[in-house]
Copies of this chain bind each other. A is one copy, B any other.
Amino acid sequence: MKTADPELMRAINRLSVLDTIRRHGPISRVEISERTELSTTTVSAITASLLDDGLILTRHEGDIRNAAARGRPRVMLEVNPDAARVVGAKIAASRMVFVVANFRGDVLSTLTLPIRIDRQPIAVIADLVEDGVRRCVVDAGLSLEDVDSVCLGIPGVIEHRTGHIRSSPIFREVNIDFAAEMSARLSTPTIIESDAHAITLGHHWFGKARELEDMVLVSLEQTLGLGVLHRNRLFRGAGGLSHNLGDLVLGIGPQGVMRLSSQAGESAILGEQQTDGRFAEAIRLGRGMTHVQALIQADDDRLITAAVRAGEAIGLTIANIVTLFAPPRVILVGSSLALGEPFLNSLRDAYALAIPPSLKGVSELVFDDSTDDFWAQGAAAVALYELYESPWSTTGPAL
């Protein structure tokens, strides 16, 4: 049972005001007061403190109300883009994407390194990540000292709280304290988060869940991940663990346990193909569904069969997740979406079949084929969220 004190109270309300300003663009104090249900007195005090800390800016234009508004015009407040800078990254088996974002979450620069880092030793991967972060920061015309924190989105079972990677397909080792490693290398606070969690928060901040406070996201990449947004926050398991959907069991077959990853993981779908890897690459790039579909159609039916089977397995899994969490929306992301209609249709069909009648209609499925930049931007959002939450001004406006 957490105990409450004035400081906590102040932190909560500060975050509430700052987040309201972030979400609702330039906004006047009156409107903040309405939205947060804080008194105008308090809003005035808090915004003064935020202005003092340089986290927000005033703007004397853009009052959206009736142009013929009488009375003193509202002063609009907005997040100060230059209050901080963070780096967000998506680390995947065949590429790394870096993004430098300002305090508002705007992307200042992007860097994609199409390198296969699969199962390299930690030191090699850490070298590449460090290099990518540094380069991307330089591309943005900044220096690493200008960066307040870094968040790395990594596939696998990530323990955000401790910064440990429990297990990840791109690491040979298990239980690595990667956050400490990278913090030391970059001499900048570095957060580790599951890639699925990162893009979940990304969708909450910038994407297809902006207006929702509860939501579930399923990521279909090399790893099958899950992100749960619960009351505007990432829901992390009891130990602050991320979820790994690929470990879910569908049943026991002749060869032992059949896990979802063996049905619907990227390698399960593509692995049977002994081709030159055109599919894999086209799909991983995540762009040009039509291109991939053309490839699929030109090929024999094996890939299609695999895609249909995968879609079915995932449709069932999503139905099960909806049964457990009953979110108003489920967002699907990831490279596997590029498999196109055969996959999506079987997914939708299996979902429709498997969703219990009593929950029919509570959840809508949304497919999202954002580029990798968006994942990295999501990681940046994770980093920013922690900055938003942090106290900043020691205590009180003082002076």
Known: A166-B358, A252-B312. A239 touches B324 (CB 8 A): no
Write out the residue numbers on chain B whose beta carbons fall within 8 Å of the beta carbon of A19.
Answer: 1
Tell me if A243 and B36 are in contact (CB < 8 A).
no
Complex CA–CA separation, A328 to B354 (angstroms): 30
Choose one: B241, B250, B257, B323; the contact of A247 (CB below 8 Å): B323
Tell me if A157 and B16 are in contact (CB < 8 A).
no
Write out the residue numbers on chain B whose beta carbons fall within 8 Å of the beta carbon of A320.
Answer: 248-249, 320
Tell me if B1 and A237 are in contact (CB < 8 A).
no
Complex CA–CA separation, A250 to B260 (angstroms): 11
Complex CA–CA separation, A239 to B361 (angstroms): 13
Write out the residue numbers on chain B whose beta carbons fall within 8 Å of the beta carbon of A16.
Answer: 1-3
**CB of A396 within 8 Å of the partner chain:** no
Tell me if B249 and A354 are in contact (CB < 8 A).
yes
Known: A157-B358, A249-B316, A252-B353. A243 touches B9 (CB 8 A): no
Chain B residue at smallest Cβ distance from A35: B1
**CB of A376 within 8 Å of the partner chain:** no
A322-359 Cβ-contact flags toward B at 8 Å (1 or 0) = 01111110000000000000000000001001101111
Write out the residue numbers on chain B whose beta carbons fall within 8 Å of the beta carbon of A208.
Answer: none
Tell me if B3 and A13 are in contact (CB < 8 A).
yes
Known: A252-B316, A316-B251. A214 touches B238 (CB 8 A): yes
Write out the residue numbers on chain B whose beta carbons fall within 8 Å of the beta carbon of A247.
Answer: 323, 356, 358-359
**CB of A12 within 8 Å of the partner chain:** yes
A70-102 Cβ-contact flags toward B at 8 Å (1 or 0) = 000000000000000000000000000000000
Write out the residue numbers on chain B whose beta carbons fall within 8 Å of the beta carbon of A272.
Answer: none
Write out the residue numbers on chain B whose beta carbons fall within 8 Å of the beta carbon of A254.
Answer: none
Choose one: B226, B230, B251; the contact of A324 (CB below 8 Å): B226
A274 → chain B, closest Cβ, in Å? Answer: 28
Chain B residue at smallest Cβ distance from A312: B252
**CB of A4 within 8 Å of the partner chain:** yes
**CB of A256 within 8 Å of the partner chain:** yes
Complex CA–CA separation, A241 to B362 (angstroms): 11
Complex CA–CA separation, A195 to B4 (angstroms): 32
Tell me if B3 and A38 are in contact (CB < 8 A).
yes
A352 → chain B, closest Cβ, in Å? Answer: 10
Q: Given A226-B324, A238-B326, output 13 extra A-B contacts at Cβ < 8 Å.
A: A1-B36, A1-B232, A4-B13, A167-B357, A174-B358, A214-B238, A237-B324, A248-B324, A252-B312, A252-B316, A257-B316, A257-B353, A320-B320
Lowest 7 CB-CB distances: which A-B pairs, in order?
A214-B238, A247-B356, A237-B326, A4-B12, A4-B9, A249-B354, A1-B16
Q: What are some 5 contacts across the A-B interface (CB < 8 A)?
A: A1-B232, A244-B323, A249-B319, A249-B354, A252-B316
Residues of chain A having any CB pair with chain B under 8 Å: 1-6, 8-9, 12-13, 15-16, 19-20, 36-38, 157, 166-167, 174, 214, 226, 230, 232, 237-239, 241, 243-245, 247-252, 256-257, 259, 312, 316, 319-321, 323-328, 350, 353-354, 356-359, 362
